[in-house]
């Protein structure tokens, strides 16, 4: 009896550089794929079962003809949702998930798992899909099976990532551009030790609040409002005013960041990151005391240009822009000072901007 043919696919995690919660508001985002990710490796099987194994998450077997969101083993919903979205035939498959991308810390392990699964299943079926269609299938899987009403930032950045380039994504026009990142700069990722569980409702609540703000302003999306226009609207409830201000000004920060990247101006880019975090803290309230502590410590270190939370917030990680020559010292000192101040152990890593899924 011949051995089953093995296929594999890899997708990286991502950092959101600027553009916090703007994607589902038809706005613009800057992200980057990182040099940590997940690999899905496996084969077809003929018994109609799906087997998913992970050394960190566990083992699950389910009938391929009865795909449904699971209340337990929720981590497997990212795989099952993609299989359902791609209408995978009922013969089933076995996969093993490996990698060095931690879950629940704001680096988009969920999107990496979705994309690696999608590319694996397409290879298994000898099918092709346009990259944006793959990203959208993964997003729909996250909506339907994981219950997180996410935008497309995570999937697009992981899929279209390019080494030493930022990924610019316009969620309204679906334009994707890769933009050279200035030389001599480095990114330092710091985990707060506070796990994020977006499916618990904070993320979806912010989505509803920004939608309500757009409705109150009588626009299709907050993309259609400028900060000067918003400042004249004193009729919005305070909560909606602050939520709208965050999104409107985040879009403007992304557009200004494009000029900073074109000029190779790391200091200007870092200042925009600092402003973004302050808005997350005050206006969007998706930061936490531990994230604030990481950002505050980083901003005081020599060679640091800017720091902010990355991704959805409510825990997770921060991203710090610094001079490349100072990166290792920044990472070590940030880890030391944070552990001392918070009594939490933080994994802090210098990250390279890497290629996307393959």
Domains 7-176 and 181-351 belong to one CATH topology: no
| The predicted structure's pLDDT at residue 197 | 64
The span from the CA of 62 to the CA of 40, in Å, is: 17
CATH of domain 181-351: 3.30.70.890
For the stretch 188-206, pLDDT in tens is 999 998 876 655 678 889 9
Hey, what CATH class is 7-176 in? alpha beta
Greatest CA separation for the chain:
74
Average pLDDT (122-146) is 95
Res 37: pLDDT: 97
**pLDDT tens for each residue of 286-306:** 999 999 999 999 999 999 999
Predicted confidence band at 93 (pLDDT cuts at 50, 70, 90)?
very high
How far is residue 195 from each of residues 105, 232, 265, 341, measured CA to CA in Å?
6, 38, 33, 19
The answer to whether the beta carbons of residues 310 and 107 sit under 8 Å apart is: yes
Taking phi over 0 as left and psi of -120 to 50 as alpha, with beta for the rest, 258 belongs to alpha
Q: Is 154 one of the annotated active-site residues of the chain?
A: yes
Report the chain's mean pLDDT, rounded to a whole number: 94
pLDDT number for residue 198: 54
Half-sphere exposure of 221 (CA within 13 A, CB side): 14
Between the alpha carbon of residue 38 and those of residues 4, 96, 140, 341, 344, the distances in Å are 22, 10, 20, 32, 26
Residue 29: DSSP 8-state: E
- pLDDT, tens digit (0-9, with 9 covering 90-100), for 309-354: 998 899 999 999 999 999 999 999 999 999 999 998 889 999 999 9
DSSP string, 301-352: STTEEEEEEETT-SSSEEEEEEEGGGHHHHHHHHHHHHHHHH-----EEEE-
pLDDT single digits (tens) 201-258: 788 899 999 999 999 999 999 999 999 999 999 999 999 999 999 999 999 999 999 9
| Residue spans of beta strands (DSSP E) within the chain | 7-18, 28-44, 49-54, 58-63, 92-99, 165-170, 176-180, 185-191, 304-310, 317-323, 348-351
Which tokens is 271 given?
Answer: 């200042």
Angle between helices 289-299 and 327-342 (to 10 degrees): 140
| 269-273: average pLDDT | 98
Q: How many C-beta neighbours within 10 Å does residue 41 have?
A: 16
- Could you say which of 154, 170, 202, 265 is catalytic? 154
Residues 8-61 have pLDDT tens digits of 999 999 999 999 999 999 999 999 999 999 999 999 998 999 999 999 999 999
Q: 234 to each of 69, 216, 221, 267, 332, how far by Cα in Å? A: 43, 11, 19, 34, 46
> Domain residue spans in the chain?
7-176, 181-351
C-alpha–C-alpha distance, residues 307 and 298, integer Å: 7
Is it the case that residue 127 has pLDDT exceeding 60?
yes
pLDDT score for 201: 79
């Amino acid at each position: 009896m011949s051995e089953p043919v093995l296929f594999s696919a890899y997708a990286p995690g991502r950092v959101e550089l600027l553009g916090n919660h703007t994607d589902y508001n038809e706005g613009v985002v800057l992200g980057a794929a990182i040099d940590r990710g997940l690999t899905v490796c496996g084969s077809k099987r003929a018994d109609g079962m799906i087997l998913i194994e992970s050394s960190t998450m566990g083992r699950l077997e389910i009938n391929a003809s009865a795909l449904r969101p699971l209340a337990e083993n929720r981590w497997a919903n990212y795989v099952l949702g993609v299989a359902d979205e791609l209408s995978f035939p009922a013969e089933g498959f076995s996969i093993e998930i490996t990698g060095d991308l931690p879950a629940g810390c704001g680096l988009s392990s969920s999107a990496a798992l979705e994309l690696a699964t999608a590319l694996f299943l397409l290879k298994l079926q000898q099918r092709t899909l346009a990259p944006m269609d793959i990203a959208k299938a993964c997003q729909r899987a996250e909506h339907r099976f994981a219950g997180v009403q996410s935008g497309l930032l995570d999937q697009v950045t992981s899929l279209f990532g390019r080494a030493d380039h930022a990924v610019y994504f316009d969620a309204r026009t679906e334009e994707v551009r890769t933009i050279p990142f200035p030389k001599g700069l480095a990114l330092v990722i710091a985990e707060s030790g506070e796990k994020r569980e977006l499916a618990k409702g904070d993320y979806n609540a912010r989505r509803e609040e920004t939608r309500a703000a757009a409705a109150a302003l009588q626009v299709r999306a907050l993309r259609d409002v400028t900060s000067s226009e918003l400042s004249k609207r004193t009729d919005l409830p305070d909560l909606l005013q602050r939520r709208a201000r965050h999104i409107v000004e985040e879009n403007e920060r992304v557009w200004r960041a494009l000029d900073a990247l074109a000029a190779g101006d790391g200091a200007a880019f870092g200042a925009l990151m600092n402003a973004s975090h302050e808005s997350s803290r005050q206006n969007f309230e998706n930061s936490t005391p531990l994230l604030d502590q990481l950002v505050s410590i980083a901003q005081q270190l020599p060679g640091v240009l800017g720091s902010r939370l990355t991704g959805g917030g409510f825990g997770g990680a921060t991203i710090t822009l610094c001079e490349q020559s100072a990166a290792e010292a920044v990472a070590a000192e940030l880890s030391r000072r944070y552990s001392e101040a918070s009594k939490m152990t933080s994994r802090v890593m210098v990250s390279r901007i890497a290629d996307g899924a393959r």
